Structure 1
Amino acid sequence: MTIRTPDVSNLRCDLPASFVVFLVAIPLSLGIAVASGAPLAAGLIAAIVGGIIAGAVGGSPLMVSGPAAGLTIIVASLVQTYGWRATCAITFLAGLLQLALGAGKVARTALAVSPAVVHGMLAGVGVVLILAQIHVVLGGSPQHSAVANLQELPGQLVGSHSHAVMIGVLTVAVLLAWDRLPGRTSDGNVLRWVPAPLPAVVVATLAAWWLGWDVPRVDLPDSLLDGWQPLALPEGTLPGLVGAVVSVAVVAGVESLLCSVAIDRRRPEGVPSSDLDRELMGQGAANTVSGLLGGLPIAGVMVRSTANVEAGARSRASAVLHGGWVLVLALLCGPVIELVPLSALAGLLVVMGVKMLDTTRLRDVRHHREAPIYFITLAGVVLLGLGEGVLLGIGVAAWLALRRLARLSVEVEEGPGPWHVVVTGSLTFLAVPRLLRVLQQVPPGKTVDVDLHVDFMDHAAFEALHDWRVAYQRLGGRVDIDETHESWYERAVTGEMSPARKSPLPVRWWAPWANRRRQVSTNEPDASGMSPSDLLLAGVREYHDSTARLVRPIMAELAFQQTPEHLFITCVDSRVVPNIITASGPGDLFILRNVGNLVPRFDSRLHDDSVAATIEYATNVLNINTITVCGHSNCGAMAGLLAGGSEIEHLPGLSRWLRHGNHSLARFLDTPPGESGEDPDGELSPLSRLCRINVMQQLDNLLTYPWLRRRVEAGKVELTGLFLELETAQVHILDPTAGRFVTVPSQVPDQAEEGTPGPGTAVPDRH
């Protein structure tokens, strides 16, 4: 594990960002210490260590670590059970465990925990935090459990009229009103960088001081390490101690890793992604030091990390500097911190608890049908405790996963010809009774087509299906089994049980409608008797049934922003499907299609802005750095050019458009057969030669745009030529040096020679 020196050039962004995070961290760290029943200095120590140690050696450049609200229940329980010194020892041991887990490269396994469990856990912690701290806001003391706090709340509400109540209410009011100030979120407003917790605590503190109210306040020791004593070994049963260490290590680790993943999605361009194993080791190092110095357990904190990103941080230096600011404040400004009323910190924690009940997360889990996991985890945390609630949520998630794995659809379709039995899902021993019950509905002596759309078939299911088939055929019937995804049945019959090759996309996704005998997944009739509009709707229904669920997570992520890698210019020909020939998916290609894949020249007399507008948007807004022109064989547009336009005289719009291909035609006429690199032997037909030459010419036409040519010459944009040979379904790439299309290499070369353009890179003024 190495410590990387921050890039000095980023300090102009990281320095102000670190101060914003520091302003957020101070009140939160003190409030979490109060809620945990720990010394107030423990919150500051954890903020300092989390910023400096975890920030310097962790694997997430922009994440900020410190005392986390999600650990308050665990810490409060440990303090009550073992005492504070023993809790510090548990934090120390949890840090060592995290170091071992990080060294063992197991960080990603923590992400296997269902997000519904994590969000339910955080919501449960929020409820417990609210019920506990609202008593402090009302001038009382929290009880030993959430249920007891709820039972005592009515009496507390009736009998609380102290100044502490007014301070807590004032804090909550400022927190809620701050983000609603007019213009605060605009870029030019200086208040945009002031986090709400700071003015809330400052206003409450000034109000208590100005009015002379005698309310409980923060009580710091003379020094952060004042009264420090060596760690004490907890007294208790070994299983209980092991459980405490594991719970702190796992909960803090999982919360940190999930926070790291979430911040990765928001990181600006140029910031590297997180190394989760290194991050877990960084958290372990921080917890080890924090436990040794008498600080709270440390985890990655979403509130501080989000503030760090929004404030413009560019590297880990921001997190490290924020820890330094906390250290300076703790050493030099202790008397100022001691003016803060405890009820103000409690009000801050109440609002934080409300924010942990994130309704957007609830909508997400409901969308994925995981709401039971969320609510059961929440209830378990509130009623039973954090560890018990999480284990309960994991158990429910596992049970639901098993139910989904065992889900099976078996349908019988009676027709004038063969009977059809459609089996969809996972065919396991759990589904055997249902499968046999449906198969028994088929009368004897029929021809039966069994369509297996299964992603798994165990031995019990195979034996049941095979025995039924043998018995049915013995009575005079006929059974044909068709497997569309994997050959589970066939491999079991033949005894070839090598791993099956999985089809990553739904069956027939690439085949034209005319090749589909019938719509198995949607129970549509034969395609041969359907109108074009019926075929279209049948295709949409098949997409909804078999493909939409697979691409929904991708589309949801792309819904508000697209970041394609390439601008792909190709013909409108229905036989050319860019996503098939490039094996690309949603969000990969920014596609421009027109007749003949033509690019009008910059100085063309025939004015056309559609192509130029697409290129401008792709390069200037989407920052695409690769433009591909893809032609194809037997192109109708090129055939029209060869015929001199006589065949399309009755189509005035098309005739005008094809004038943009005159440069391709002139280049074709200037290059006799056998004299070009593309056709050295003169074996290609005139149409085949023109289709290839047209791609080369369109690449040259792109270079007539001055702003694009400058980018190409500066190496910021690469131009590539592709050619699809329809007869063989093969794609060829343009080698600009040889002036011909070559076979796409089976793998990308390790490193092209510096200064030498690779295949597909357009060279200016090639013709």
Structure 2
Amino acid sequence: MRTRRVCPMATDTKSDGKLAAGGLASALRHDLPASVVVFLVAMPLCLGIAVASGAPLAAGLIAGVVGGVVAGLLGGSVVQVSGPAAGLSLVVADLVMRYGWRATCMITLLAGALQLLLGVCRVARSALAVSPAVVHGMLAGVGVVIALAQLHVVLGGSPQRSAVENLVELPHQIIHNHTHAVFVGVLTIAVLIAWTRLPQRVRSLPAPLAALLVASVTAWAAGWQVTRIDLSVSLDSWVGPVWPSGDWHGIVAAVLLVALLAGVESLLCSVAVDKLHRGRRSDLDRELTGQGVANMITGALGGLPVAGVIVRSTTNVRAGARSRWSTVMHGFWLLLFALGFGWMIALIPMEALAALLVFIGVQMVNMGHLRNLRGHSEVPVYVVTMAGVVLLGLAEGVLVGLGLAALLALRRLTRVTVRATAEPDGRWHVVIGGSLTFLGVPTLTSELRAIPAGVTVDLDLNIDFMDNAAFEAIHDWRQEYERGGGTVNIDEIHDEWYAMAASGVRMFPAKTPPRAPDRWWLPWSHRRRGRRVAHSPLAARHPDRDGSPAVPDLLAGAREFHRLTAPLVRPLLHTMARTQEPSHLFITCADSRIVPNLITASGPGDLFTVRNVGNLVPRLGSEPEDDSVAAAIEYATEVLNVRTITVCGHSGCGAMAALLSGGEKVTGQPALSRWMRHGNHTLARFIAGESAGEDHGPLDRLCRVNVIQQLENLRTYPQVDRLFRGGDLELIGLYFDIGTARVHLLEQHPQVASGPA
């Protein structure tokens, strides 16, 4: 059975330079419709973010146009959409209050110049060193602040100066304001919530646009008294940026804050968008450069700061965009709308835009990020950053989050694990792992002093660093312990940190990476890249997939074993060189994806393994005769005295697929056809049984049924049946699901119920 290897870059399109004939057809077919969808999503968001930022309404549209056209053409991501970002609205609102709008535009321009400089210096990758927990926590905090502020507008009131004041004032607003503005806001939010539950055809219109349309038409038809904005006034009063007046320290800090926040958000968005498509990967330095030029232009034109935005970018990918022309065209649609249809904005109630911002703010508190962070113990960073942004301010909250993330990282890097176990012969085995610094000395000394006095201690140091405080703690304990009549044998798995310190050799401050096998469990094809090609006739006769001479993988693997693994396992293998004492007879399929020692976490001497096509056990006396499996069963039970026989099947078994096809898949393969006759009892059991609803189709159920049938076939051997009935032998059925990498224990009854092993 062969599978065709599909190159992940196959769907990339020529998105740079002039459009070729094929590129133009692709742009018209895929990018043009996608650009319209993104425009419909972006237009209300540009207006709403301008309102939340305290900027002129036209500033949002200017940023949308510049972000689409300039960042789209110059950026390093082919499908990312840039424009005004909700995450920057608090920063902009604060700058507008402190310096004025025109000065804020100059700060945006300077921030763009700084981004351009950083992109030219190729430092974009360093921005990814910022913890995503801090970024997501910051965005969540911004969302809470936006939602609390705009909720007052929805309720017919005015936002207060801080999130805390907004929260305190909220009950008063809810009790005393019941105007038409409240009706418009509630209606907008209701449409946004209900839109996702409507049929797919209806949902082709983006929810933000639909909500604004419904609210505007309803307010006009009902004659409600609402607040409206004239975009023409905003356009007619355009003025250029001016230099901000005030303390230059504050101005520099503002430029740095806008540049870094917009840059980090854009780069993280690029990385996230790369996971949504199979085209060309993002050039992060070029993306930062493009964002810098876009911010310089939007600042000069009087627009909001721009950044890559995940909602519009995700919409772009899902709408079928193939190249950067979708982003560029969406910017032109925004420009066309602002110049030709700006009068339509006067029909949109301000309260509807505020309700849209409330909805966006709530969505920025993404519970999916919390679930992802929980597995890495970074939820505290997220929560503290969010709380800091809400209670203290954006810059203060981010600094608090970064500080906590650094402390947690330091704690992880200096974490020490001490595992002490008593051996049956009276010795104690102690394994110390991690980085031994002064921070781990209390834990280290506490665990070591708990070891009983007067015994032999085998101390394994599985460490990558040891400072003087840790060395003194271990050395002092060892001397004291040996004075009390005990013995301490120290074995260092990596570099000899303890031995060198004890002999007075100068220690190097850098950590030493573990000398471990290079991901030994990976297939050869995954480790081939970077390995030197052997210039030999054998290599020349076997070209690999990329057209270059192939490395003889088996010999290269043997050399790797000799160099890395053999020194570690040689002492163990030396003790078992004369005899083997396995506890299991392990019968499994010959499928190359099944690695018994890997899926059972077993080592040398544990498993006496039999492999064949379909993990079949021919019944005693069956035709055609097979002495191979029978010999292994006899030797395992009568000579090796194994106490367990395990039959392990797996998902997608080719032998079972052949059995299910009635033999058609093995036509022309006489030996295999004869061997597959041993699966007839499995097929009969499959036909007689029914699915319990726990499998994934007929083939999956047959693979599971086959395991149970082979366990019954084992009972046809007298010595197996005798040992099993006497309680001296256990029969176990395992099923390995390759796709999920999970091992299931199969119960021995016809329904073949299973659960994780």
The normalised TM-score by structure 1 is: 0.66
- One-letter identity of the residue aligned with 1:284: G
Structure 1: segments with no counterpart, 5+ residues: 519-526, 537-567, 581-592, 598-605, 616-639, 657-767
1:383-431 per-residue CA deviation (whole Å, 9 max, x = no partner) reads: 1111100100111111112222222222433343432222122211122
Q: 2-side partners of 1:174 and 1:571: how far apart? A: 51
Percent identical residues: 56
The match for 1:211 is: 222
8 Å CA contact retained: 2:464, 2:513:
no
- Is 1:375 aligned to residue 360 of structure 2? no
> Could you say which residue in structure 1 is the equivalent of 2:440?
431
Partner Cα separation in structure 1 for residue 267 and residue 654 of structure 2: 45
Residue 127 of structure 2 corresponds to residue 127 of structure 1: no
Give the equivalent residue in structure 1 for 2:301: 293
In the TM superposition, what are the counterparts of 1:191-270 in structure 2 within 5 Å? 191-221=202-232, 224=235, 226-267=236-277, 269=278
Aligned-partner Cα distance in 1 for 2:220–2:680: 84
* Partner AA of 1:303 in structure 2: V
Q: Whole-Å Cα distance in 2 between the matches of residues 84 and 426 of structure 1?
A: 52
Q: Deviation string for 1:169-211 (max 9, x for gaps)? A: 1111111111100x31xxxx3x343210111111111112222
Amino acid in structure 2 at the alignment position of 1:97: L
**Root-mean-square deviation (Å):** 3.9
By how many angstroms is 1:24 displaced? 0.4
Task: Check the 8 A contact 1:40/1:220 in 2, yes or no.
Answer: yes
Which residue of structure 2 lines up, in the alignment, with residue 419 of structure 1? Answer: 428
Q: Cα offset for 1:147?
A: 1.3
Aligned residues: 555
Contact 2:613/2:655 (CA < 8 Å) preserved in 1? no
Secondary structure (helix, strand or coil) at the match of 2:243 reads coil
SS at match of 1:357: coil
Q: Deviations over 1:525-563 (max 9, x none)?
A: xx9999549x99xxxxxxxxxxxxxxxxxxxxxxxxxxx
Match of 1:737 in 2: none
Matches of 1:237 and 1:570, distance apart in 2: 69
Residue 44 (structure 1) aligned to one of 61, 86, 96 = 61
CA-CA distance at 1:341 after TM superposition: 0.9
Please name the residue that 2:12 is paired with: none
Partner SS state of residue 90, structure 1 = helix
**TM-superposed deviation, 1:221:** 2.5
Residues 14 and 655 (structure 1), Cα distance of their counterparts in 2 relative to 1, 3 Å cut: closer
d(CA) in 1 for partners of 2:154, 2:458: 71
Q: Distance in 2 between matches of 1:575 and 1:336?
A: 69
Residue 293 (structure 1) shift? 0.4
* Matched AA of 1:255: E
Q: Secondary structure at the match of 2:435?
A: strand
Aligned mates of 1:277, 1:613 — CA distance in 2: 51
Structure 1 counterpart of 2:497, from 488, 492, 495: 488
Aligned: 1:278 with 2:286? yes
Give the alignment of 1:306-321 within 5 angstroms: 306-321=314-329
- Tell me: CA distance 1:467–1:359, structure 2 relative to 1, closer, same or farther (3 Å): same
Query: Secondary structure in 1 aligned to 2:67?
Result: helix
Contact 1:572 1:596 in 2 (8 A): no
SS at match of 1:409: strand
Change (3 A) 1:9 1:481: farther
The whole-number CA distance in structure 2 between the counterparts of 1:394 and 1:121 is 10
Instruction: Identify the residue that residue 452 of structure 1 maps to in structure 2.
Output: 461
Q: Which residue of 1 aligns with 2:412?
A: 404
Q: 1:573 to 1:159 in 2, by over 3 A?
A: closer
Aligned partners of 1:48 and 1:571: how far apart in 2? Answer: 52
1:435 CA displacement? 2.2
Once the 2 structures are TM-superposed, how far is the Cα of residue 489 of structure 1 from its aligned partner? 3.1
Structure 1 partner of 2:4? none
Contact 1:55 / 1:317 at 8 angstroms: preserved in 2?
yes
The answer for the alignment partner of 2:132 in structure 1 is 115
> Is the partner of 1:228 in helix, strand or coil?
coil
- Helix, strand or coil at the partner of 1:425: strand
Corresponding residue for residue 101 of structure 1: 118
- Alpha-carbon displacement from aligned partner over 1:688-740 (angstroms, at most 9, x marks no partner): xxxxxxxxxxxxxxxxxxxxxxxxxxxxxxxxxxxxxxxxxxxxxxxxxxxxx
What corresponds to 2:165 in structure 1? 148
Q: Tell me: CA distance 1:455–1:515, structure 2 relative to 1, closer, same or farther (3 Å).
A: closer
Unaligned runs of 5+ in 2: 1-14, 522-560, 573-578, 603-610, 616-623, 625-651, 659-669, 682-757
Contact 2:501 2:507 in 1 (8 A): yes
The change in CA–CA distance for 1:422 and 1:60 in structure 2 (over 3 A counts) is same
Per the TM alignment, residue 243 of structure 1 is displaced from its structure 2 partner at its CA by: 1.2
- Distance in 2, Cα, partners of 1:572 & 1:652: 23
| Residue of structure 2 in register with 1:730 after alignment | none
CA distance in 2, matches of 1:201, 1:233: 37
Query: Cα 1:311–1:491, aligned 2, differ >3 Å: closer, same or farther?
Result: farther
Cα deviations across residues 488-513 of structure 1 (Å, max 9, x unaligned)? 3345457486774524579998989x
Relative distance call for 1:573 and 1:355 in structure 2 (3 A) is closer
For 1:253, the aligned partner's letter is: G
Partner secondary structure for residue 463 of structure 2: strand
Offset at residue 214 of structure 1 (A): 3.1
Instruction: Kindly state the Cα deviation for residue 475 of structure 1 after the two structures are TM-superposed.
Output: 6.4
Q: Distance in 2 between matches of 1:337 and 1:198?
A: 12
Correspondence list, 1:379-398, <5 A: 379-398=387-406
Return the alpha-carbon distance in structure 2 between the equivalents of residues 440 and 152 of structure 1. 58
On the 8 A contact 1:572/1:595 being kept in 2, the answer is no
Does the 8 A contact of 1:131 with 1:146 survive in 2? Answer: yes
Distance 1:34 1:528, change over 3 A: farther
Show CA shifts across 1:281-310 (max 9, x none): 111111110001000011111111111011
Q: 1:348 to 1:530 in 2, by over 3 A?
A: same
| CA–CA separation in structure 2 for the residues paired with 1:87 and 1:213 | 35
In structure 1, distance between residues paired with 2:383 and 2:653: 52
Of residues 331, 352, 358, the one that matches 2:366 is 358
Quote the residue 1:82 is aligned against: 99
The C-alpha deviation readout for 1:225-282, integer Å capped at 9, x for no partner, is: x333332111221221111111111111111111111111011x3x101111111111
Give the match's secondary structure for 2:43: helix
Once the two structures are TM-superposed, the CA of residue 361 in structure 1 deviates from its matched residue by 1.3
User: Which of 507, 514, 535 in structure 2 is aligned with 1:502?
Assistant: 514
**Residues 197/479 of structure 1: CA separation in 2 closer, same or farther (3 Å cut):** same
Distance 1:248 1:472, change over 3 A: same
Cα distance change on mapping 1:571 and 1:157 into 2, 3 Å: closer
Q: State whether residues 240 and 302 of structure 2, in contact with CA within 8 Å, keep that contact through their aligned partners in structure 1.
A: no
Tell me, in whole angstroms, the C-alpha distance in 1 between the residues paired with 2:75 and 2:656.
44
Structure 1 residues 571 and 319: alpha-carbon distance in aligned structure 2, compared to 1, 3 A threshold: closer
Hey, what's the Cα distance between the residues in 1 that align with 2:515 and 2:203?
Answer: 50
Distance in 2 separating the partners of 1:298 and 1:391: 22
- State the Cα deviation string for residues 726-765 of structure 1 (Å, max 9, x = none): xxxxxxxxxxxxxxxxxxxxxxxxxxxxxxxxxxxxxxxx
Of the three residues 14, 17, 26, the one matched with 1:10 is: 26
Match of 2:654 among 595, 601, 611: 611
Looking at structure 1, the residues matched to 596 and 412 of structure 2 have their Cα atoms a distance apart, in angstroms, of 39
Q: 1:471 to 1:31 in 2, by over 3 A?
A: same
1:287-686 equivalences under 5 Å are 287-415=295-423, 416-442=425-451, 445-470=454-479, 472-473=481-482, 477-490=486-499, 492=501, 495=505, 500-503=512-515, 531-532=583-584, 570=592, 594-595=612-613, 611=654, 653=678
Match of 2:711 in 1: none
- Which amino acid counterpart does residue 147 of structure 2 have in structure 1? I
State the SS of the aligned residue for 1:338. Answer: helix
User: What is the aligned partner in structure 2 of residue 67 from structure 1?
Assistant: 84
CA displacement at 1:362 relative to structure 2: 1.6
